[in-house]
């Protein structure tokens, strides 16, 4: 299905986790989202990431989600699974379960809650990688972990074959570019941006792909943007990016302060998917509030003007 | 054994978690620490807290630790158990297991990793409290969770009987004092400082007790300090506090940058206990380094001059 | 007037800077505040500090303020003047002008705006101290400068006679206590807390005094609290502190988000002084808003219940 | 000299401020740098910015710097002058002096040291703009001011004609792209990135130019990059950007912790210019250290391999 050379490249959305009205995992809706993404041309699936509300899921729920997506995907594209836990031994437990359920790669953050440092996180990734026989990606998300993975450490881990790449949600485009440059000669080292609205610049700078939460809503647009970049049509890529940036405005529809930052962004993705008929509810994991009627109406306007409904 | 009026008052150290040389939970050493604390006159035990490396423990390890301490304690003092997880549903799972293993109260932080807000954390504590039939304490530790629990929320939750008190490790003495004043008329609402070296001032300001990591090393000193404050001998309390502050210098012995902040503080407590013959090793949870020979020697000097060995 | 041994001890409020309705420095009101403070028994005056809106004043305004207060004081108590600027050479210029206008000591922060470090700030204080022949105090206010002066540096500067003491507004009571202990043997080294509601604990721990913004409103209360601590009546000091903490609630009266943090706190002090008839307006430096009628009414209630009007 | 349509577009380096061995402003060296920049094809000059060590300069020094550069430039390209001060009234004083000395536009940050908010900073820019008759640019540099200027405020100020554009050093490429999109229909509103190594992506996204500190060292490279982007040769622009990113490695040559972040970056620019024979020394403003021999040697290697010496 993909035209790209490496296994983990292109558009790999972090799949949202739909819930039923009474708060259970909504398996049929999750199957639907997965099909929607595959139909949109994604080149991979990232399961149990932040956009999948992974830290809000119990272990049983995490397994249900991964099992469901692996089943629908049936080997069409590679499946990356988050092993998102506070510390090494807990990540190792998560990673083992994910691999046993069919994950083709593991995504792990630095430690959090723990007050850690670079050396400790180096040992952390080494221990995680030693515990599984699939590729491990480092997920750099300091807005959540409050630790920025240093470029030097990531390059060192890449060069030694500990990690196979990086999902960068650091919001730091300077260090992102420097990582891309420093890792350019590492074979099969793949760097993804997690920021939905700067993908054109990231690809121009040499990134291998994108892990966009908004890709749940409009996977085809990200695939078009990626294909334009592969074709060298950068003006076209920027134009597609600008259109996508307008869709991204759905995350700003929640009324100031009514819901948390988490619930605003992820809630907007779910609400859009609900309006598009792909999932049944926009219910969030406890204790997050779902977007309300007004906020849903505002999202509807944006989806309509961008041609998504 | 305690002479204080309320059930959760006085000196309630967060018990460290000893490991064997090969990294397993060292149950006999943990039993020894527990006896050391009870002999030192502590009025409660806080199990599976940050100083117990809770987020570094697997669920099995957490259960082993709690079961061991509950066994040795045998009802002598109340046992608080940390249910320290990222989000509500995971905290509820932890809390249920802890209560089933004999915890007399639960300690939970705000959500972390999740980008949360005050309202969401209010619902978080309500849901956790509704799920157990023992008292729930809020643990305010923004240096780890990166969310400061607002005084207004804590008072509201206390007044409604959702939480029974607060363990404050916020490092914000202004908000601490304001919490004490605002909660003064809430019956049986207990506020503890988590900061080892400002206990005299906290008690003078009206706090009910202290949860000192350093209390693992010198529980009797904290009990003396607490008793002096109950007796109104504030100059005596301050003098005891100053002596304790000297013991606390053990946490500054690690060479700059060699180990993480986590490993420095908790490692110093473990190293001191090892030097005092109470636990067998100063091994830390992966990927934290244990303090080395030089650092151990520096701790020995401090323990000697403060009369602990 | 003071009964304390050292020159810079006790209660040294940072004097507010009243403005007329059209925004000029209101000299008669400033004279009145100064008399109000001296009548309240303060043991020193801190001019051109954060509470005096120093960074909002032009150089001419700073000079007017200092000249006015020095004139009214007429040598009754020592006058400390802030030389609050971003970098060394600019602080040196400020300090020279302040000394020429009669300051008995200089108060300087770390550098700010500049991305500095400990070594640089060490050289900063050395250069400032070398440029004047009056004592220099370090003002540790990381909430504004975004740099915490390390305890080790402060002690080193104290021991070498570069600085004569510290005004601590760090909000970090742990490092405050450690500073007090580490500097205990430095002759005439004076440490002040800048936090209005934890003065009893700070004095119990060994601090030499307090620089309370709220001292503009109720200087006599701080003097009573200080005298009780000198007399060893710590329960009395804590009771006075609790009463003061209620007065401090005036800073929380501004409606959420209507004014900045700066304008809320300083505006409350000015509004209280206006209600007490000591200054004419509660006008703030541009672009800060003055507290409005509702907020003023709320402050009036607090002043009434605490006996200040 | 420029081929770009608008007055403030293209490459506008923040000019460094050379000092003599004894710390005075080195006027001949400053003249030389200015000629070096004009010869390199810059389309504007930004005087008294962070890279010019503006907050380390006394007022007299700031005036000397501006007067010198205006003199050499002699109207060839527009000159923007920083009015970088903590608060409104002080910025207004700086802006007036700069305009009187020939500045064609003013660059001002949000307030700092003051604990401000969006509304206050809105009034701040309105007051500054009202005080001068040249264009005012907002300089968004939260790493120094610790306040991120909100996109909504910047767009509002642009739409009302208060500000003529933004120099963005926020390190937040998501908000940068959103600002570019939101301001696209404001006539003559110019947005510059301050980040040296992501200029290709910024221009692809629609920015009008760049204000690169590194542009002091290699102005011609930035001009080539800009011209390639105007010509739509994005692959060429990215290749030039990658070469520039290698030059940028000079800022990472200082030994860890030896000098401050400020002194590392600005010191590297000065050291490179010294090695290139354009300025006489790499002396920094007090209390910053100059780069040492080893660091200078490391910079020499980078300059050699990138063809700059």
pLDDT of residue D256: 84
Averaged pLDDT, B117-139:
98
Among B85, B78, B135, B142, smallest CA distance to B108 is for B85
List chain D residues with CB under 8 Å of A261. Answer: none
Q: How far apart are CA B2 and CA B10, in angstroms?
A: 8
The full length of chain D comes to: 309
pLDDT reading at B110 higher than 90 = yes
Binding-site entries of D for pyruvate? 211
Q: What is the pLDDT of residue B257?
A: 86
- Is there a contact between A201 and D197 if contact means CB atoms under 8 Å apart? no
Q: CB-based contacts of B19: which residues, under 8 Å, 6+ apart?
A: B25, B26, B281, B283, B284, B285
Q: Is B2 left (phi over 0), alpha (psi -120 to 50) or beta?
A: beta
A89, A262, A263: residue with CB nearest B58: A89
CA distance C70 to C65: 9
> Does residue B27 have a known ligand-binding role?
no
Contact residues, chain A, for B23 at CB < 8 Å: none
Q: Do D288 and C120 touch (CB under 8 A)?
A: yes
CB-CB neighbors (< 8 A) of A87 in chain B:
55-56, 285-286
For the residues C99-109, what does the mean pLDDT come to?
98
Chain C residue set in contact with D, beta carbons under 8 Å? 50, 55-58, 84, 86-90, 93, 111-117, 119-121, 123-124, 127, 143-146, 257, 259-263, 285-289
> What chain A residue is nearest to D239 in terms of C-alpha separation?
A205
Q: What is the mean pLDDT of residues B35-39?
A: 98
CATH, domain range C10-233 = 3.20.20.70
* DSSP code string of D247-293: HHGGGG-SPTTTS-HHHHHHHHHHHHHHHTTSSS----STTPPPP-H
pLDDT of residue A265: 96
Beta strands in chain C (DSSP E): 10-11, 45-47, 79-82, 105-109, 136-140, 165-168, 190-193, 209-210
Mutate to test the interface with A, among B92, B115, B259 (most CBs of A within 10 A): B115
Chains that touch A (3 or more CB pairs under 8 A): B, D
Q: Report the SS3 class of residue A81.
A: strand
CA distance C73 to C37: 10
- Mean pLDDT for the stretch of residues B229-255: 97
Interface test with C, best of D120, D131, D141, D257 (most C CBs within 10 A): D120
Phi, psi of D62 (to 5 degrees): -60, -40
* CA–CA dist B280, B296 (Å, integer): 14
Pairing state between β B79-82 and B45-47: parallel
Residue D286 has pLDDT above 90, yes or no: yes
What are the E-state strand segments in chain A? 10-11, 45-47, 79-82, 105-109, 136-140, 165-168, 190-193, 209-210
For B204, the closest of C177, C238, C245 (CB atoms) is C238
Stretch (H or E) spanning A65? helix A59-73
Residues 6+ apart with CB under 8 A from B76: B1, B38
**Sorting pLDDT into bands at 50, 70 and 90, what band is C115?**
very high
Nearest alpha-carbon partner for B114 in D172, A108, A53, A87: A53
Which of C171, C202, C235 shows the shortest C-beta gap to B232? C235
Is residue B6 very low, low, confident or very high in pLDDT (cuts 50, 70, 90)?
A: low
Identify the residue whose tokens are 């999932």. A279
Residue pair A219/A42 in contact (Cβ under 8 Å)? The answer is yes
- Mean of per-residue pLDDT scores for chain D: 96
pLDDT exceeds 80 at position D6: no
C286 interaction partners in chain D (CB closer than 8 Å): 87-89, 123, 127
Residue bearing the bigger pLDDT, B95 or B1? B95
Contacts of A201 in chain D (CB under 8 A): 173, 177, 198, 200-202, 204-205
Residues of chain B with a CB closer than 8 angstroms to some CB in chain C:
171-174, 177-178, 181, 195-198, 200-202, 204-206, 232, 234-235, 238, 241-242, 245-246
Domain residue spans of chain A: 10-233
The answer to whether the CB atoms of C113 and D287 lie below 8 A apart is no
* B107 pLDDT more than 90: yes
Chain D nearest-CA distance from A193, in A, is 11
Q: Is the pLDDT of residue C67 over 60?
A: yes
Q: Which of B87, B121, B123 sits opposite A56 (nearest CB)?
A: B87
What residues of D are in contact with residue A232 (Cβ under 8 Å)?
235
Burial class (CB in 10 A: 0-12, 13-18, 19+), B304: exposed
Q: Hey, CA dihedral for D176, D179, D184, D187, is it positive or negative?
A: negative
Nearest-5° Cα angle at D114, D110 to D118: 45
So what's the pLDDT on residue C6?
55
Q: Which residue in the list D112, D167, D222, D270 is annotated as catalytic?
A: D167
Q: What is the mean pLDDT of residues B151-165?
A: 98
Judge whether C135 and C164 are in contact, CB under 8 Å. Answer: yes
What residues of D are in contact with residue A202 (Cβ under 8 Å)? Answer: 201
A178, D197 in Cβ contact below 8 A? Answer: yes
Per-residue pLDDT of B261-286, as tens digits, reads 999 999 999 999 999 999 999 999 99
Please name the residues in contact with A160: beta carbons below 8 A apart, sequence gap of 6 or more. Answer: none
CA separation, residue C163 to residues B99, C91, C138, C148, C174 (Å)? 55, 15, 7, 16, 21
| Cβ atoms of D260 and D53 closer than 8 Å | no
How is residue C289 annotated by DSSP? P
Omega before B226 cis (within 30°)? Answer: no
Q: Which chain A positions have a beta carbon within 8 Å of D245's beta carbon?
A: 177-178, 181
C167, C252, C280, C300: the active-site residue: C167
Binary contact (B115, A143; C-beta < 8 A): yes
C112, C139, C222, C270: the active-site residue? C139
Token pair in block for residue C299: 């402050």
- Which residue carries 């105090």 as its tokens? C137
Q: Is D232 exposed, middle or buried (0-12, 13-18, 19+ CB in 10 A)?
A: exposed
Across residues D106-134, what is the average pLDDT? Answer: 97
**Residues in D touching A177 (Cβ below 8 Å):** 197-198, 201, 241, 245
3-state secondary structure of A106: strand
Residue C283 has a pLDDT of 98
- Stretch B25-52: mean pLDDT, rounded? 98
The C-alpha of C141 sits at a distance from chain D's nearest C-alpha, in angstroms, of 10
pLDDT at B1: 33
State the Cα–Cα distance between residues C216 and C62, nearest whole angstrom.
Answer: 18
pLDDT for the residue B256: 84
Query: What is the per-residue pLDDT for C7?
Result: 78
Residues C92 and C129: beta-carbon distance below 8 Å: no
Q: Which of A119, A168, A174 to mutate to test the interface with D (most CBs of D within 10 A)?
A: A174
Q: What is the mean pLDDT of residues D38-64?
A: 98
What percent of chain D shows pLDDT beyond 70? Answer: 98
How far apart are alpha carbons C126 and B118 in whole angstroms?
44
pLDDT > 70? residue C2:
no
**Mean pLDDT, range B228-235, rounded to an integer:** 98
This prediction's pTM: 0.96
Q: What is the mean pLDDT of each run of 10 residues along chain A (309 residues)?
A: 60 98 98 98 98 98 98 98 98 98 98 96 98 98 97 98 97 95 96 97 98 98 98 98 97 92 96 98 97 98 97
Taking alpha carbons only, the member of D65, D166, D160 closest to residue D108 is D166
The pLDDT tens digits for D265-282 are 999 999 999 999 999 999
Q: Which residue is catalytic, options A112, A139, A222, A270? A: A139
Write the DSSP string, D177-208: HHHHHHTTTSTT-EEEE--TT-HHHHHHTT--
> How far does chain A reach from its first CA to its final CA, in angstroms?
26
Q: Is D270 a residue of the active site?
A: no
CB contact under 8 A, D201 and A204: yes
- Beta-carbon separation of D242 and A198 below 8 A: no
Residue A7: predicted pLDDT: 78
Of A58, A116, A262, the CB nearest to B262: A116
Asked if D210 and D202 touch (Cβ cutoff 8 Å), the reply is yes
Mean pLDDT score across all residues of chain C = 96
Say yes or no for a CB contact (<8 Å) between D201 and A205: yes
Compute φ and ψ for D241, nearest 5 degrees: -60, -40
Mean pLDDT along residues D221-233: 98
In chain C, which residue's Cα lies nearest the Cα of D142? C113
Q: Rounded distance, CA D108 to CA D132, Å?
A: 12
Question: Shortest CB distance from A58 goes to which of B93, B121, B143?
Answer: B93
Q: In chain A, whose CA is at the least distance from the CA of B261?
A: A115
Pairwise CB contact (< 8 Å): B197 & C206: no
Q: How many CB pairs under 8 A join B and C?
A: 77
Summarize the confidence of residues D76-92 as an average pLDDT.
98
Other beta carbons less than 10 A from residue B104's beta carbon: 20
Of D177, D197, D204, the CB nearest to A197: D177
- Under 8 Å CB pairs connecting chains A and D tally to 77
- The question of whether C167 is a catalytic residue gets the answer yes
């Amino acid at each position: 299905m993909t035209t790209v050379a490496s296994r983990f490249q292109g558009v790999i959305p972090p799949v949202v986790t739909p819930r039923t009205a009474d708060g259970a995992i909504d398996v049929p809706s999750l199957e639907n989202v997965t099909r929607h993404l595959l139909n949109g041309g994604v080149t991979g699936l990232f399961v149990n990431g932040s956009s999948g509300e992974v830290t809000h899921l119990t272990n049983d729920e995490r397994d249900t989600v991964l099992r469901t997506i692996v089943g629908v995907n049936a080997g069409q594209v590679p499946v990356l699974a988050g092993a998102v836990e506070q510390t090494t031994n807990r990540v190792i437990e998560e990673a083992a379960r994910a691999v046993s359920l069919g994950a083709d790669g593991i995504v792990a953050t630095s430690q959090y809650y723990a007050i850690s440092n670079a050396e400790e996180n180096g040992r952390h990734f080494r221990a995680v990688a030693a515990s599984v026989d699939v590729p491990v990606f480092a997920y750099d998300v300091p807005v959540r972990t409050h630790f920025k993975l240093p470029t030097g450490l990531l390059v060192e881990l890449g060069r030694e074959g500990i990690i196979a790449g990086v999902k960068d949600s650091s919001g730091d485009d300077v260090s992102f570019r420097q990582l891309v440059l420093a890792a350019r000669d590492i074979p099969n080292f793949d760097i993804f941006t997690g920021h939905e609205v700067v993908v054109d610049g990231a690809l121009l700078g040499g990134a291998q792909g994108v892990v966009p939460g908004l890709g749940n809503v409009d996977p085809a647009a990200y695939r078009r943007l990626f294909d334009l970049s592969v074709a060298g049509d950068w003006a076209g890529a920027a134009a597609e990016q600008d259109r996508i940036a307008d869709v991204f405005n759905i995350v700003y529809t929640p009324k100031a302060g009514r819901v948390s930052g988490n619930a605003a962004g992820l809630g907007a993705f779910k609400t859009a998917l609900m309006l598009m008929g792909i999932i049944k509810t926009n219910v969030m994991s406890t204790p997050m509030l779902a977007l309300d009627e007004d906020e849903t109406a505002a999202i509807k306007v944006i989806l309509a003007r961008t041609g998504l409904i």
